[in-house]
Chain A
Amino acid sequence: EDKVVQSPLSLVVHEGDTVTLNCSYEVTNFRSLLWYKQEKKAPTFLFMLTSSGIEKKSGRLSSILDKKELFSILNITATQTGDSAVYLCAVEAFDAGGTSYGKLTFGQGTILTVHP
């Protein structure tokens, strides 16, 4: 069974700090790893990673995937109070037929709290 583990489960920082969120996974027939941000509503997409070692960046957020060691990290620099949210990591895998059919396996999430 596919498994995704995120750490830490919660994190409290002050504005301006840099944080690193971790996601490790065990999945057969890996297709992609995705990061989401969830505030008091539905998850919003941040990044999709499919290739090892290639950093994806969006403003103060960046993410990288290591397919050999089966993990990914999400970095947030110069944190702001608006970054407070649950950050979810999910993996998508191909089934035996070579398709993924929209099934994502999620980690339990990291609750990030940024204080002013």
Chain B
Amino acid sequence: KAGVTQTPRYLIKTRGQQVTLSCSPISGHRSVSWYQQTPGQGLQFLFEYFSETQRNKGNFPGRFSGRQFSNSRSEMNVSTLELGDSALYLCASQGRDRYSNKDEQFFGPGTRLTVL
């Protein structure tokens, strides 16, 4: 089973710019969640998408947005970047294993964003 892929893996931007990160979930998984990980705040939930609809959202400003496409791939966008947005952005793919019928979740490798 191919894993969760995230692109790009590393990104350097300057303050005020915007950035778009991509996540391709495991084949058959329809739910994608996004998390921000920083040394100070740990892992924090951003939002979750299922069948192109945002079902849940964390406590982040409106500069953070996302979307999901019909093939379940998801993108998240951060506009007007701030220094504090420097973090590892992880996406998690959720679904049910067709053989075991158990819910499963896998994280992607993450995108390391540095804002200068």
Q: Chain A residues near B92: list those with CB within 8 A.
A: 102, 104
* With known contacts A42-B90, A95-B56, A109-B42, A103–B33 Cβ distance under 8 A: yes
Q: For the complex, what is the distance from the CA of A103 to the CA of B104, rounded to whole Å?
A: 14
Residue of A42, A43, A95, A99 ringed by the most chain B CB atoms within 10 A: A42
How many Å lie between the Cα of A45 and that of B92 in the bound state? 11
Q: Interface extent on B, as a size class?
A: 20 to 34
The residues of A that contact B50 with a CB separation of less than 8 Å are 101-102
How many residues of chain A are within 8 Å of chain B by beta carbon? 18
Q: Inside 8 A of A101's CB, which chain B residues have their CB? A: 31, 48, 50, 55-56
Given A101-B56, A102-B56, A42 and B109 touching (CB < 8 A)? yes
Those of B89-111 within 8 Å (CB) of chain A: 90, 92, 94, 104-110
- A-chain residues with CB within 8 Å of residue B44 when the two chains form the complex: 106
**C-alpha spacing A88/B90, complex, angstroms:** 14
Q: What does DSSP make chain A's interface, helix, strand, loop or mixed?
A: loop
Which residues of B are at the interface with A, using a C-beta cutoff of 8 A? 4, 31-33, 35, 42-45, 48, 50, 55-56, 58, 90, 92, 94, 104-110
